[in-house]
Chains A and B, each alone.
Chain A
């Protein structure tokens, strides 16, 4: 059974710090991996999508990398701001579900950026 693990479960940093969130998966047959942001009481907003053929994707201060051989993805947030405070979820899609689109989610990392 595919498992997706996110470490740490919670993180608190001062404003301005660069930080890394980790996501690991057990199935090497990855189709793509998607990073989401979830604000308290809200839905999920897609941040970055990395295809299995890609090594990284960037959007503004966010950079997501993918290492298929080690079964890991990292989300790098540069110069963190209080507005970045949210829960970050990674979601794995394997080749076996490339047609159905089923995602396997990690439990999330809750980030707090202090002013």
Chain B
């Protein structure tokens, strides 16, 4: 049981380049989230999804797009990377609605540097 996995683990981009971060979960969770973590600012929610085919904006969505074509995958895209998007990106999925604990499970993170 892998839980939540993220690809890639590290990436360096030049300003203006594009890339896609992949998050996969094998727990059959409906809800998935993308956060970014910056020094002194904690984790902030970028986008989230409450089920396959749905997405919604979080606290800091500008400059990012997301897609949830399959239940197990949640993709985060940067169309034109900017230095302000240098951060560590975390994906999470949520267990809920099966009588169990309502909590989020996090992936190991992707460290992105934009030059």
Contact = CB atoms under 8 A, between A and B. Distances in A.
B74 interface: no
A49 B40 contact: no
B4 to A, nearest CB: 8
Contact of B42 (A41, A45, A46, A106): A106
Interface string A44-64: 111001000000000000000
A81 interface: no
B108 A100 contact: no
Given A100-B48, A102-B58, A43 B103 contact: no
Contact of A44 (B58, B96, B102, B106): B106
B104 A46 contact: yes
B77 interface: no
Contacts, number: 58
A4 B42 CA distance: 10
Given A100-B56, A102-B48, A102-B58, A108 B42 contact: yes
Interface residues of B, number: 28
Given A46-B103, A101-B31, A107 B108 contact: no
Contact of B40 (A43, A91, A99, A107): A107
A89 B58 CA distance: 19
Contacts of B96: 101
Interface of B: 4, 31, 33, 35, 40-45, 48, 50, 56, 58, 90, 92, 94, 96, 101-109, 111
Enumerate the 7 nearest inter-chain pairs by beta-carbon distance, A residue then B residue, closest first.
A105-B42, A44-B106, A105-B43, A43-B108, A43-B106, A107-B42, A101-B94
